[in-house]
Amino acid sequence: MAVIRGLVLLFLVFSLEYAAAKVMCNPPWTRGGPFPTTHPQTRKITTPAKTCTFGWNRFGAKCYRFFPQAVNWAIAEKTCENNGATLASVRSKVQNDFLLSLLPGSTQAWIGGHDGEVDGQWLWVTGYPFGYTNWCPKEPNNAGRPENCLEINWTQNRCWNDAPCSATIGFICSKRRRS
């Protein structure tokens, strides 16, 4: 009896495997079904209604937050990373204006620009080179010593300045919106 039960079980397993193999060898579009625009296994699932966590401000696909504690640029970036973020990058005037709106009054803040690798070649922490810029007149100028980090809201013009990375000011982090 046990032998027969074993044989039946074996037959069932083989039948199921054969059926599975048949489906894999003959996807729907080869049997007259619609041809998928993306492979079923790589199709992305879009999740609407992404929001920012409390204390973060939405702009485009990201969330931004001003941290008022005065720290040097490296600690600012590290603090952002500890919050699942990076120092903010800027790609347009609208975005620059948005970042300025997060700052109280004339407070300066670090964002994610630096020319620490090659002087004069400004990069974002994401690795992208600068496109849009809002430098103050005669900046960046390495004034009297290396100035390799980017601060915003400099002077009454609220423009950009290269400052020594060891200076201690607040900073703005950005991170992707969560689902």
User: Looking at 89, 108, 148, 174, which residue binds Ca ion (CB under 5 A)?
Assistant: 148
What are the structure tokens assigned to 87, written together?
A: 């120092």
- Residue labelled with tokens 């809002």: 134
Residue 153 within binding range of Ca ion, rule CB under 5 A: no
Phi and psi dihedrals of 96, rounded to 5?
-60, -45
Euclidean distance between CA atoms 143 and 46, whole angstroms? 48
Q: How many residues bind Ca ion (CB under 5 A)?
A: 10
Residue 151 within binding range of Ca ion, rule CB under 5 A: no
- Residues, the chain: 179
CB of 115 to Ca ion, least distance (A): 4
User: Looking at 17, 91, 143, 157, which residue binds Ca ion (CB under 5 A)?
Assistant: 143
Residue 162 within binding range of Ca ion, rule CB under 5 A: yes
CA angle 55, 53, 75 (to 5 degrees): 65
Report the interface residues with Ca ion, using CB under 5 A.
Answer: 115, 119, 139, 141-143, 147-148, 161-162
